[in-house]
Structure 1
Amino acid sequence: MLRKIRTILAAVMFVLITLLFLDFTGTLHHWLSWCAKIQFLPAVMALNVVVVAAFLIITLICGRTYCSIICPMGVFQDILARLNRKKNKYSYSKEVRWLRYPVLVVFIIAGVAGIGSIFQLLAPYSSYGRIATMIFQPVWKMGNNILAELAERADSYAFYSVDTWMRSMPVFVIAAVTLVVIFILAWRGGRTYCNTICPVGTILSFFARFSWLKIRFDEDKCKNCSLCSKNCKASCIDFKTHSIDYTRCVVCGNCIDSCKFGALKYTAAGPSKKTNKANDANPINTSKRSFLLATALVTTAALAQKKKEKLMDGGLAELEDKVAPERQTPLTPPGSLSFQNLATRCTGCQLCVSECPNQVLRPSSDLMHLMQPTMSYEHGYCRPECTRCSEVCPAGAIQKVDKEEKTAIQIGHAVWIKKNCVPITDGVECGNCARHCPSGAIEMVPLDENDEESPMVPAINEAACIGCGACEYVCPARPFSAIYVEGHEVHKKI
């Protein structure tokens, strides 16, 4: 019964949070954003004392049920482990202390020192978020586009085509490598990642050893058949000494379900032995053959690099791709307050990136802030009426803002580059930037006031500019826009 309840709850949570990452329509986050906000590390970063305290109390009562039900990376490992159809495939092994606790120390130091790339690389929720956003979502969109094409041929508009593109090659590679490593570890050893690398699992293990409810042996009924050890994904059951390492047990219930003699029960009664005398099991073999096999799972995501035609003022046209300008200060989303606040509190889960409907957010390639969101306007601009990223951020790195508040937040200001402007380079009229500026911060003025035939060029009112990037996005100059947005380290109110 324990295993069935755990499996149902885990399946529901995993489907909901995966749909949250896959959703590109903007409809699901209104109902499912809570799935991200109850994740352990985002709750810590958001200073959500209620959620953190609740999980610690639950762990003290029930053990590490968070890892087996709530954490998407934990459930994802279970799914990958089930792909290996071999029965009785696990065995008891001792805790890998030399790796487990140093990883936790490095994780804490990276978080305190603000080394976001290391912090996010080790965070389990962030790791799954990268996989879902960089690999699963492009494949999901491609499937949608196939359905949209079929529906169009049938004169139906039940689906619409969406753009798929590579937001960040470095982060895609990190996500792909993470998927390969998780696949190998789960295929060969079940919950190896949870109990050797995951810092959240290590933190909760300190509380799990004192949990009130535990899976316990009834030694009178035990026949030493070893089925419990062979079905334990955490490799924490030593059937020879009738002992369980509760710091690694995720209360999955597999051992109880596999025991034919009723020797294991999830109960608060009876002491558990502390001895641990079994021989070490064979170490996990992450072979090259397994690596190549796992790599096949992510090759299809490379198709997401294909660019689509862009809709501009004159209709559909093949245009040279824009190149992102070199901004002195990165652009961060409205609600992030400042570059430093985002860098300090962001877990790099990619949820805001996956939810951005305007193709503005993408993972940063900066080494110190790798995988944290940054803004660029080659594929769209930050629409003043859109507040989706602030609604889904679970860590408080992007605080929730309403539409009226967003229009008064200045995340940067537009800068004109004379040498790129088409009225000067090509001698044609333009004015795209002024026509599309939602805050009225740009007007067209003569380049030379004393010349009646002087070309009209943009003049920018920096005090009124909110940095939305509409001007940069619609600028026809290629490959570099004649107008771009320079970020502000601290956001301003106008």
Structure 2
Amino acid sequence: MLRTIRLTLAIVFFVLITLLFLDFTGALHTWFGWMAKIQFLPAVLGLNIGIILLLVILTLVCGRVYCSVICPLGVFQDIISWLSGKRKKNRFRYSPALTWLRYCMLGIFLLAIIGGLGSFVALLAPYSAYGRIASGFFAPVYQWANNGLAYLAERAGSYAFYETEIWIKSLPTLAIAGMTAVILIILAARGGRTYCNTICPVGTVLGFLSKYSLFKPVIDTAKCNGCGLCARNCKASCIDSKAHEIDYSRCVACMDCINKCRQGAITYTRRRPNPEPTTAKGTSVTAEQINDTRRAFLSTTALLAATAAVKAQEKKVDGGLAVIEEKKIPERAVQITPPGSLSARNFAQHCTACQLCVSVCPNQVLRPSGNLMKLMQPEMSYERGYCRPECTKCSEVCPAGAIHPITKADKSAIQIGHAVWIKENCICVTDHVDCGNCARHCPAGAIQMVPSNPKNEQSIKIPVVNTERCIGCGACENLCPSRPFSAIYVEGHKMHRTV
């Protein structure tokens, strides 16, 4: 019964948190955004004392329930371990805890937080690691499926779905997400919760607290016949069946051991517990069934990818005649951080690089940074869109306090940067044509077109930027027709201002 409850809750949390990263509309965050905010590290960095106390109390009462129910990376490892258990059952065994490694990793992690090394923090943070995996690998498949449905719905006269552009936002982040996924899959398939009990800093902290938890799995030595079935199915490798002992700092309270024990010797009780996790029974799957499923999945994925590629190619030509040259990112002295982040320093200190804000940005302005010091942390760039004054989605979903919640009125008054005009790139000067695109679309009215020759009112007009009114939204940079570099671009502010 306890295992069934735990599995049900874990599946619900895992599916909904995954959907938060896949939902490019941002609609789910209204109802389930709190699931991101109760993750341990974002709560710590966001100084959400209430959530931290809640998780600490939960651990002191029930053990490491957070790791087996709430943490998406923990549940992801359980899924991999369960799938690998289909081929080889009873494959685990007790192993002594690598305490020195766990606390060394925790010490390095804390030093990285204190030293402001956000890139290293993001590498080890479990919630952030899963966010990158979901955004980098699950999201494209989800979007391909959405675009396929949109294509079919449009031909049926329905607009229940709409297409979204699929693109690689950052190759370094994608590569890191891929390596993380491969390492986790190998560790989970071979050793279950190896990552959680040797590397994960959150697991180490909660493991220390769980040694003093009120309720724990416990072994009744009078009933135990020493078969070792619990130890061979414990994915945390924390049950010493010969000594009838459980390492509670590594037990994730999965309740598998309670179901697996045929003698009923393990119970979840207030007495000093002895956790004995076991894997759930599964039906055998033939090699032919696996191959058929794999072929079907690959065929569907290839079809969706081909459709998306054709659609993407259509968007790169002007009426099928001229190729549209893509814009390049300008060299900014100061990178732009989202409205609500207060300053570049505050953003770097609190951001966990989970990619949640990147996944919900409807204008494709946010993307992971390739800068080594801020690797994987989101930054703003305007090649594909601009930061619309009416959009506050990133501030609504950030779980760590890197982007504070703001209203639409607040956003229109926050100056995250200012526009800079580059005379050499402007088609008004190079091609001697009237443009004014930047001035017409500036939502703050910060750009005016003035005669290039003050003495001749009929001369070609050029843009002039009022830096006091400009909020740095990037509408001018995005809509400038100059290629490959815009004639006007936004320079970020280290400290945000109010206009």
TM score, norm. by length of structure 1: 0.92
Q: Report the Cα offset of residue 318 of structure 1.
A: 3.9
For residues 214-242 of structure 1, what are the alpha-carbon distances to aligned partners after superposition, in whole Å with 9 as ceiling and x for unaligned?
11110011011111011111010011110
2:8 maps to 1:8: yes
2:32 maps to 1:32: yes
Q: Report the Cα offset of residue 425 of structure 1.
A: 1.5
2:210 maps to 1:208: yes
1:472–1:481 contact (8 Å) kept in structure 2? yes
Which one of the candidate residues 131, 146, 149 is aligned to 1:147?
149
Q: Report the Cα offset of residue 133 of structure 1.
A: 1.2
1:127–1:175 contact (8 Å) kept in structure 2? yes
2:316–2:324 contact (8 Å) kept in structure 1? no
Pairing of 1:37-186 with structure 2 (within 5 A): 37-84=37-84, 85=86, 86-186=88-188
Alignment CA distance shift 1:475-1:312 (3 Å) = farther
2:246–2:273 contact (8 Å) kept in structure 1? no
The equivalent of 2:281 in structure 1 is none
Alignment CA distance shift 1:308-1:125 (3 Å) = farther
SS of alignment partner, residue 141 of structure 1: helix
SS of alignment partner, residue 13 of structure 1: helix
Alignment CA distance shift 1:444-1:211 (3 Å) = same
1:234–1:249 contact (8 Å) kept in structure 2? yes
2:308 maps to 1:328: no
Pairing of 1:274-313 with structure 2 (within 5 A): 307=312, 310=315
For residues 32-72 of structure 1, what are the alpha-carbon distances to aligned partners after superposition, in whole Å with 9 as ceiling and x for unaligned?
11010000000001111111011111111111000000000
For residues 168-195 of structure 1, what are the alpha-carbon distances to aligned partners after superposition, in whole Å with 9 as ceiling and x for unaligned?
0000000011111111111111111110
Inter-partner Cα distance in structure 2 for 1:271 and 1:415: 65
Q: Report the Cα offset of residue 270 of structure 1.
A: 5.2
2:317–2:323 contact (8 Å) kept in structure 1? no
Alignment CA distance shift 1:173-1:311 (3 Å) = closer
The equivalent of 1:351 in structure 2 is 356
The aligned amino acid for 1:58 is: L
Inter-partner Cα distance in structure 1 for 2:454 and 2:212: 79
SS of alignment partner, residue 145 of structure 2: helix
SS of alignment partner, residue 216 of structure 1: strand
2:460 maps to 1:458: no
Q: Report the Cα offset of residue 401 of structure 1.
A: 0.3
The equivalent of 2:251 in structure 1 is 249
Inter-partner Cα distance in structure 2 for 1:414 and 1:267: 64
Q: Report the Cα offset of residue 443 of structure 1.
A: 1.1
Moved more, 310-319 or 89-98: 310-319
SS of alignment partner, residue 379 of structure 2: strand
Q: Report the Cα offset of residue 308 of structure 1.
A: 5.4
1:312–1:474 contact (8 Å) kept in structure 2? no
SS of alignment partner, residue 31 of structure 2: helix
Inter-partner Cα distance in structure 1 for 2:403 and 2:129: 19
The equivalent of 2:290 in structure 1 is none
Q: Report the Cα offset of residue 427 of structure 1.
A: 2.3
Moved more, 314-323 or 218-227: 314-323
SS of alignment partner, residue 60 of structure 1: helix
For residues 43-102 of structure 1, what are the alpha-carbon distances to aligned partners after superposition, in whole Å with 9 as ceiling and x for unaligned?
001111111011111111111000000000001111111111122121111112232111
2:217–2:273 contact (8 Å) kept in structure 1? no
Q: Report the Cα offset of residue 453 of structure 1.
A: 4.4
Q: Report the Cα offset of residue 481 of structure 1.
A: 0.3
For residues 12-33 of structure 1, what are the alpha-carbon distances to aligned partners after superposition, in whole Å with 9 as ceiling and x for unaligned?
1111111111101121111111
The aligned amino acid for 1:219 is: T
The aligned amino acid for 1:146 is: G
SS of alignment partner, residue 83 of structure 1: helix
The aligned amino acid for 1:50 is: G
For residues 289-317 of structure 1, what are the alpha-carbon distances to aligned partners after superposition, in whole Å with 9 as ceiling and x for unaligned?
xxxx9xx99xx799699655559999997
Alignment CA distance shift 1:248-1:316 (3 Å) = farther
Alignment CA distance shift 1:130-1:114 (3 Å) = same
TM score, norm. by length of structure 2: 0.91
